[in-house]
């Protein structure tokens, strides 16, 4: 190998998964390299212990990584809104300063000029307008507390805290592989409460990627259901007794089956049953591996096939080994070697596969399995009655969203077969039209089949997936499934996890192969869902007629029913181009469910990008594999399932956990809480800073517009200004935004409608901000004018003057602090010990600090810093001061109480109603947790159980991939020539 000197020329790294061109020059000879000779990153090579390969692309150049898209810095919509608001506040600040500066100019001109006897203008100031100009900047400094600098820090702390809750949640901890949920990004929490679109991968996310032989119908009898004494069907759960396969040494211990009658049938040597399992053990392309005697491992091209062969194995028909010419099966403990004469392989058109074998007894038999629609056409007329019974069973299986296959056999005539195999050989060596000739031959022999029965395989969903999807759907979240699987499989899963169901008006399938086809299909779908949307009067049409180049936000449209949409990868490629984008978005977003099948990783990201571009909605992508990385990175929030498929998805995700069902807790509980907490925090924060700062503004009108940042010249004591945001008000609001819950987690999940306000961005937006501002302005008016009125031209109860500046400052700041504390108490709906401690603590700290700072000792030591000596003692003893404080609180808070209550009474939002319902329900004893049984009434014939394109029957027959790996099998030897089969990896 070190002497290998070759040269590979290939195309530049790109993201096309299905194309590769290059040449390998080795000792002067050129070999073509194409996609067939490539292995993509993340591929598993089965049945191969070692191979030579050459790395063509590495790291970020690999095709998969090229597909994964850029990592963008994610920010939440609240972040963006906050930035806008801060700018607005700056503008507001500038406006206030301008007003005050002009006021100062006028004042200095009218009054200050004449007041110079007692207060000469400052040095360098020679005109009123110049003084006004200086005052502008002074006020910028004074009023800058309205721009909340500590806001950003507090927001980050809250997000961090809420992320920790996700890490700590035991209900999102998956015990089986010891994985807790993980918030990998700590800046996106509140966005979790606003998700409108979920883009989900299928395999490994919705499903476990485990196929399970669940039911079967043999010769008109259905097996797999368990009945109790009275003939009632029993729900299968962990406690149901499993069938004991201990009589079979080679049984797979993991296999579980519950219907004992099938085992009985096998043990009673029921002929059709034996034939059924014999077929399952022979008709497949599975490779066995037996490294230790009795420890069989099957390598199947698709997990469905593996499930069928495993089922046969457990029922006593153990597929043990294969060579290119033989198949060794241990039938009920007896080893039999069948001669494998031909494999009539699977492809997408045929939708079936067959094998022709010669039994040790010399019988020639064709065994066939395939999709029911196809196979029913090929049956012999004698099994019509059996066909009916089986159809009934198939419908039943399909109703439970199982993947079905029909199996049939045919005994062959020796002479006919010899003739056929000769022609088959000719055809397979033909140079022209080999495919057509072969398929003709296959059709010829695969007819007049005898029906044996049907199998039903369950594509095992992850636990709780249907329930989760139902809950999320109730929360008005739209779920799009983006999968690389083919259409039938994808739709099948759609039905089994309750995404699609028969209650839907229609499920549109977009599979056009040209741009026009796709356009027509999309338009037809939309016409059916909302005929109005084609009228010229339609809002969106009007909007688009105005045609500017910029992508517009398309508002939500309401369809006239519940619809689903299935779109295939190649149609999607057209739909994602240029002008079709809008059509796709409009049509797809009207549907409740969208399934995109056979999509590439890049397309997944494009779909997410599309929705992000045209819809003002928050998107979430969830997936487990490397092929989901791109969409996880593109979506506003990426969730990785930390499952079997490696860490790729998790590493690029923002949140990760082990099971899909945790998504509902992440969104409905953590997301909702985070969102509500963040909104409450922002509302309160802006409110308190406005109330705080605007008092300066009003005071400006009474103090000659003269404020400037210097010791003791604002409304408050300068220390109060410093400590207000830092000490007095920071902890209560943090306490609220870390602990608040309007309803607990149980109710949040029980009433997913509570999630909707988050999606509509109702709790914090520009309007809410303006309301906060107005409330702040109102409070500041109260906070200034009540103390003003109470002190104006009056005196203390001992006759001394009351209206000195320091007393007024103390009174105003005490009012302010108590008012904002009461306000936070009003906002807090969940008073834990911590909240109590923070709120009462902050108030007591305020009084403690105030009295300390105003004490004699502090004044004598730091004379310049604490000029307020004695103010607290002298002022806070006055009854009129406390009466003014109480009045301010009442006037600030009582209207809020009344307004909130009346709003909930008169114009209740949907979530108000739900909260009311919850409150009523809380009074009653809690209802027994509803046993939700998902009843599927689907009469749809479900997809058949083949998941991939071509089988590798040809490979088996050629024997190229065979090695004597199975020393325990009783087969002959054959030459191991597979070493030649080299992989060009990448």
Partner 1 sequence: MKNKMSFLPQEGEAHPSRCPDNSAFKQQKLPAWKPQLTIATVLSSFFVIGVFCLSVGVCLILSANSVREVQIDYSDKCSDCSKLRENSSNWNKECHCYVNFTLKEDILGDVFMYYGLQNFYQNHRRYVMSRSDAQLLGRNVNIQKSYCTPFTTYKNGTPMAPCGAIANSMFNDTIDLYYNLNSSVIQVPLLKTGNSWWTDKNVKFRNPKSYNLSSAFAGTARPLYWQKPVYLLDEQDERNTGYINDDFIIWMRVSAFATFRNLYRRVRRIRWFADGLPAGNYTFHISYNFPVSKFKGRKHVILSTVVWSGGSNPFLGIAYVVTGTAATLTGFVITAIHLKLRKKKTYFQK
Site for partner 1 in 773-832 (CB under 8 A): 786, 788-809, 829-832
706 binds partner 1 (CB under 8 A): yes
- Whose CA is closest to 599, among 153, 115, 44, 18? 18
For residues 314 and 332, the answer to whether their CB atoms sit within 8 Å is no
Q: Tell me: is residue 764 an annotated ligand-binding position.
A: no
User: How many Å apart are CA 561 and CA 555, to the nearest integer?
Assistant: 18
- String of DSSP letters for 416-430: HHHHHHHHHHHHHH-
User: x/- binding map, residues 627-666, to partner 1, per CB under 8 A?
Assistant: ----------------------------------------
Q: Tell me: is residue 61 an annotated ligand-binding position.
A: no
Report, in Å, the least distance between residue 125 CB and partner 1: 10
Q: Tell me: is residue 201 an annotated ligand-binding position.
A: yes
Among 425, 873, 913, 932, binds partner 1 (CB under 8 A): 873
Cα-Cα-Cα-Cα torsion 41, 42, 46, 50, nearest 10 degrees, comes to: 60
For residues 195 and 637, the answer to whether their CB atoms sit within 8 Å is yes
User: How many Å apart are CA 76 and CA 33, to the nearest integer?
Assistant: 46
- Nearest to partner 1 of 170, 549 (CB atom): 170
Measured between its terminal Cα atoms, the distance across the chain in Å is 18
Binding residues with partner 1: total (CB under 8 A): 95
Report, in Å, the least distance between residue 584 CB and partner 1: 41
Among 130, 255, 544, 859, binds partner 1 (CB under 8 A): 859
- Nearest to partner 1 of 687, 716 (CB atom): 716
User: How many Å apart are CA 575 and CA 583, to the nearest integer?
Assistant: 8
Report, in Å, the least distance between residue 212 CB and partner 1: 24
Largest CA distance in the chain: 132
Please state, in angstroms and as integers, the Cα–Cα distance from residue 692 to each residue in 393, 701, 803, 853, 867, following that order: 74, 16, 21, 21, 22
Q: Tell me: is residue 483 an annotated ligand-binding position.
A: yes
Q: Is 757 exposed, middle or buried (0-12, 13-18, 19+ CB in 10 A)?
A: buried
111 binds partner 1 (CB under 8 A): yes
Among 120, 360, 877, 967, binds partner 1 (CB under 8 A): 120
901 binds partner 1 (CB under 8 A): yes
Q: Tell me: is residue 936 an annotated ligand-binding position.
A: no
Q: Which residues contact 850 (CB under 8 A, 6 or more apart)?
A: 810, 814, 872
Partners of residue 222 on adjacent β-strands: 217
Among 476, 515, 713, 765, binds partner 1 (CB under 8 A): 713
In the range 756-775, which residues lie near partner 1 by CB under 8 A? Answer: none
Angle among Cα 719, 707, 136 to the nearest 5 degrees reads 125
User: How many Å apart are CA 981 and CA 984, to the nearest integer?
Assistant: 10
Angle among Cα 314, 226, 492 to the nearest 5 degrees reads 75
For residues 736 and 827, the answer to whether their CB atoms sit within 8 Å is yes
731 binds partner 1 (CB under 8 A): no
Report, in Å, the least distance between residue 157 CB and partner 1: 16
- String of DSSP letters for 911-949: HHHHHHHHHHHHHSPPPPPP-------------BS--SS
858 binds partner 1 (CB under 8 A): no
Q: Tell me: is residue 369 an annotated ligand-binding position.
A: yes
CA 985 to chain centre: 33
- Residue for token pair 């609180």: 889
Which of these ranges, 448-456, 547-555, 571-579, 874-882, lies near partner 1 under the rule CB under 8 A? 874-882
For residues 953 and 946, the answer to whether their CB atoms sit within 8 Å is no
- Nearest to partner 1 of 90, 859 (CB atom): 859
Q: Tell me: is residue 627 an annotated ligand-binding position.
A: yes
175 binds partner 1 (CB under 8 A): yes
Task: Fill in the DSSP letter of residue 523.
Answer: H
- Nearest to partner 1 of 95, 860 (CB atom): 860
- Nearest to partner 1 of 604, 672 (CB atom): 672
Report, in Å, the least distance between residue 920 CB and partner 1: 11
In the range 129-168, which residues lie near partner 1 by CB under 8 A? Answer: 138, 164-165, 167-168
917 binds partner 1 (CB under 8 A): no
- Nearest to partner 1 of 159, 350 (CB atom): 159
- Nearest to partner 1 of 10, 712 (CB atom): 712
In the range 670-689, which residues lie near partner 1 by CB under 8 A? Answer: 673
Which of these ranges, 385-393, 679-687, 696-704, 764-772, lies near partner 1 under the rule CB under 8 A? 696-704
Q: Which residues contact 710 (CB under 8 A, 6 or more apart)?
A: none
Which of these ranges, 40-48, 474-482, 681-689, 704-712, lies near partner 1 under the rule CB under 8 A? 704-712
Q: Tell me: is residue 852 an annotated ligand-binding position.
A: no
519 binds partner 1 (CB under 8 A): no
Task: Specify the 3-state DSSP secondary structure of 354.
Answer: strand
Q: Tell me: is residue 612 an annotated ligand-binding position.
A: no
Which of these ranges, 261-269, 372-380, 675-683, 871-879, lies near partner 1 under the rule CB under 8 A? 871-879
Q: Tell me: is residue 973 an annotated ligand-binding position.
A: no
Among 114, 271, 548, 926, binds partner 1 (CB under 8 A): 114
Report, in Å, the least distance between residue 71 CB and partner 1: 27
- Nearest to partner 1 of 342, 707 (CB atom): 707
- Nearest to partner 1 of 131, 587 (CB atom): 131
User: How many Å apart are CA 787 and CA 702, to the nearest integer?
Assistant: 13
- Nearest to partner 1 of 496, 714 (CB atom): 714
833 binds partner 1 (CB under 8 A): yes
Which ranges in 348-502 belong to alpha helices (H)?
372-377, 384-399, 414-429, 434-445, 465-474, 487-496
Q: Is 70 exposed, middle or buried (0-12, 13-18, 19+ CB in 10 A)?
A: exposed
Q: Tell me: is residue 305 an annotated ligand-binding position.
A: yes
Active site positions, annotated: 201
- Whose CA is closest to 575, among 615, 548, 610? 610
Report, in Å, the least distance between residue 717 CB and partner 1: 12
882 binds partner 1 (CB under 8 A): no
In the range 427-446, which residues lie near partner 1 by CB under 8 A? Answer: none
- Nearest to partner 1 of 49, 798 (CB atom): 798
Q: 613 — phi, psi (to 5°)?
A: -75, -40
Report, in Å, the least distance between residue 854 CB and partner 1: 9
Q: Tell me: is residue 693 an annotated ligand-binding position.
A: no
Task: Specify the 3-state DSSP secondary structure of 376.
Answer: helix
Report, in Å, the least distance between residue 927 CB and partner 1: 20
Report, in Å, the least distance between residue 894 CB and partner 1: 6
Q: Tell me: is residue 90 an annotated ligand-binding position.
A: no
Among 30, 434, 900, 913, binds partner 1 (CB under 8 A): 900
Report, in Å, the least distance between residue 806 CB and partner 1: 7
DSSP-derived pairing of the beta strands 317-322 and 326-331: antiparallel
Report, in Å, the least distance between residue 723 CB and partner 1: 21
For residues 962 and 978, the answer to whether their CB atoms sit within 8 Å is yes
Among 32, 45, 95, 122, binds partner 1 (CB under 8 A): 122
| Angle between helix 766-791 and 672-700 (nearest 10) | 40
- String of DSSP letters for 610-673: HHHHHS--EEEEEE-SGGGHHHHHHSSEEEEE-SSS-SHHHHT-SEEES-TTHHHIIIIIIIHH
In the range 442-501, which residues lie near partner 1 by CB under 8 A? Answer: none
- The token pair at 673 is 């809480």
**Residue positions forming the annotated binding site for ATP:** 201-203, 305, 346, 369, 403, 483-485, 598, 604, 627-628
**Residue positions forming the annotated binding site for Mg(2+):** 201, 203, 624, 628
**Residue positions forming the annotated binding site:** 201-203, 305, 346, 369, 403, 483-485, 598, 604, 624, 627-628
């Amino acid at each position: 190998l070190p002497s290998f000197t070759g040269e590979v020329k290939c195309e530049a790294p790109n993201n096309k998964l299905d194309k590769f061109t290059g040449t390998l020059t080795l000792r002067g000879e050129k070999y073509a390299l194409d996609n067939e000779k490539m292995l993509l990153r993340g591929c598993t090579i089965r049945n191969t212990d070692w191979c030579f390969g050459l790395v063509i692309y590495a790291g970020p150049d690999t095709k998969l990584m090229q597909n994964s898209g850029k990592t963008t810095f994610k920010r939440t919509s609240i972040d963006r809104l906050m930035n806008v608001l801060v700018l607005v506040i700056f503008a507001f600040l500038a406006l206030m300063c301008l007003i005050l500066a002009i006021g100062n100019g006028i004042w200095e001109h009218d009054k200050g000029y004449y007041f110079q006897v007692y207060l000469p203008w400052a040095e360098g100031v020679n005109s009123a307008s110049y003084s006004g100009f200086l005052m502008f900047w002074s006020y910028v400094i004074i009023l800058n507390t309205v721009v909340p600098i500590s806001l950003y820090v507090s927001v980050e702390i809250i997000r961090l805290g809420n992320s920790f809750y996700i890490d700590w949640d035991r209900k999102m901890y998956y015990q089986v592989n010891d994985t807790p949920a993980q918030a990998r990004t700590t800046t996106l929490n509140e966005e979790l409460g606003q998700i409108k679109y979920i883009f989900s991968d299928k395999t490994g996310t919705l499903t476990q990627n485990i196929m399970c032989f669940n039911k079967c119908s043999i010769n008109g009898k259905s097996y797999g259901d368990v009945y109790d004494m009275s003939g009632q069907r029993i729900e299968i759960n962990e406690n149901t007794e499993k069938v004991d396969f201990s009589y079979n040494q080679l049984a797979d211990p993991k296999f579980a089956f519950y219907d004992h009658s099938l085992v009985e049938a096998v043990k009673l040597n029921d002929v059709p049953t034996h034939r059924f399992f014999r077929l399952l053990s022979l008709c497949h392309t599975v490779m066995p591996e037996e490294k230790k005697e009795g420890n069989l491992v099957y390598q199947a091209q698709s997990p469905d096939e593996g499930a069928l062969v495993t089922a046969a194995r457990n029922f006593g028909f153990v597929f043990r080994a294969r060579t290119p010419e033989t198949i060794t099966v241990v039938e009920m403990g007896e080893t039999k070697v069948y001669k494998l004469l031909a494999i009539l392989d699977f492809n997408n058109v045929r939708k079936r596969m067959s094998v022709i074998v010669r039994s040790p007894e010399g019988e020639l038999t064709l065994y066939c399995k395939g999709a029911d629609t196809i196979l029913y056409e090929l049956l012999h007329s004698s099994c019509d009655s059996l066909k009916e019974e089986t159809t009934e069973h198939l419908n039943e299986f399909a109703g439970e969203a199982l993947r079905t296959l029909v199996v049939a056999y045919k005994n062959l005539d020796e002479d006919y077969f010899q003739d056929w195999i000769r022609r088959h050989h000719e055809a397979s060596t033909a140079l022209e039209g080999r495919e057509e000739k072969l398929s003709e031959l296959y059709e010829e022999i695969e007819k007049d089949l005898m029906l044996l029965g049907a199998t039903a395989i369950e594509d095992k969903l992850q636990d709780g997936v249907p329930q989760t999807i139902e809950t999320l759907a109730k929360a008005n979240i739209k779920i799009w499934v983006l999968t690389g699987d083919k259409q039938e499989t994808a739709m099948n899963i759609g039905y089994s996890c309750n995404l699609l169901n028969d209650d839907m008006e229609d499920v549109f399938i977009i599979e056009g192969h040209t741009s026009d086809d796709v356009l027509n299909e999309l338009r037809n779908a939309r016409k059916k869902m909302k005929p109005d949307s084609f009228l010229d009067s339609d809002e969106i049409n009007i909007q688009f007629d105005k045609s500017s180049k910029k992508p517009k936000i398309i508002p939500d449209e309401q369809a006239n029913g519940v619809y689903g949409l299935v779109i295939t990868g190649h149609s999607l490629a057209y739909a994602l181009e240029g002008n079709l984008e809008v059509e796709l978005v409009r049509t797809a977003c009207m549907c409740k469910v969208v399934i995109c099948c056979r999509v590439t990783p890049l397309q997944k990201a494009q779909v997410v990008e599309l929705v992000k571009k045209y819809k003002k909605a928050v998107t979430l992508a969830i997936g487990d594999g490397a092929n989901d990385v791109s969409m996880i990175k593109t979506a506003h929030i990426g969730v990785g399932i930390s499952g079997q498929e490696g860490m790729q998805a998790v590493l690029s995700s923002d949140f990760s956990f082990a099971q899909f069902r945790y998504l509902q807790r992440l969104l409905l509980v953590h997301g909702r809480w985070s969102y509500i907490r963040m909104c409450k925090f922002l509302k309160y924060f802006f409110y308190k800073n406005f109330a705080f700062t605007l008092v300066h503004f009003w005071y400006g009108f009474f103090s000659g517009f003269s404020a400037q940042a210097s010791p003791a010249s604002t409304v408050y004591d300068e220390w109060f200004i410093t400590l207000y945001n830092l000490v007095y008000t920071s902890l209560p609001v943090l306490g609220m935004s870390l602990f608040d819950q309007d309803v607990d987690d149980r109710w949040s999940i029980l009433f997913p409608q509570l999630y909707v306000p988050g999606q509509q961005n109702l709790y914090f937006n520009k309007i809410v901000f303006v309301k906060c501002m107005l409330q702040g302005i109102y409070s500041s008016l109260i906070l200034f004018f009540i103390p003003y009125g109470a002190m104006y031209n009056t005196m203390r109860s001992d006759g001394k003057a009351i209206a000195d500046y320091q007393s007024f400052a103390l009174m105003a700041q005490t009012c302010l602090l108590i008012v904002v504390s009461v306000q936070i108490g009003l906002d807090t709906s969940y008073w834990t010990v911590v909240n109590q401690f923070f709120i009462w603590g902050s108030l007591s700290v305020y009084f403690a600090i105030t009295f300390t700072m105003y004490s004699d000792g502090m004044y004598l030591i730091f004379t310049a810093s604490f000029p307020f000596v004695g103010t607290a003692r002298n002022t806070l003893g006055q009854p009129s001061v406390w009466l003014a404080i109480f009045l301010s609180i009442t006037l600030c808070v009582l209207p809020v109480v009344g307004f909130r209550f009346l709003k909930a009474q008169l114009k209740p939002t949907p979530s108000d109603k739900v909260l009311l319902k919850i409150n009523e329900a809380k009074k009653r004893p809690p209802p027994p947790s509803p046993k939700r049984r998902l009843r599927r009434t689907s009469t749809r014939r479900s997809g058949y159980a083949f998941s991939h394109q071509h089988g590798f029957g040809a490979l088996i027959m050629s024997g190229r991939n065979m090695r004597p790996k199975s020393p325990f099998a009783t087969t002959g030897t054959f030459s191991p020539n597979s070493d030649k089969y080299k992989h060009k990896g990448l």
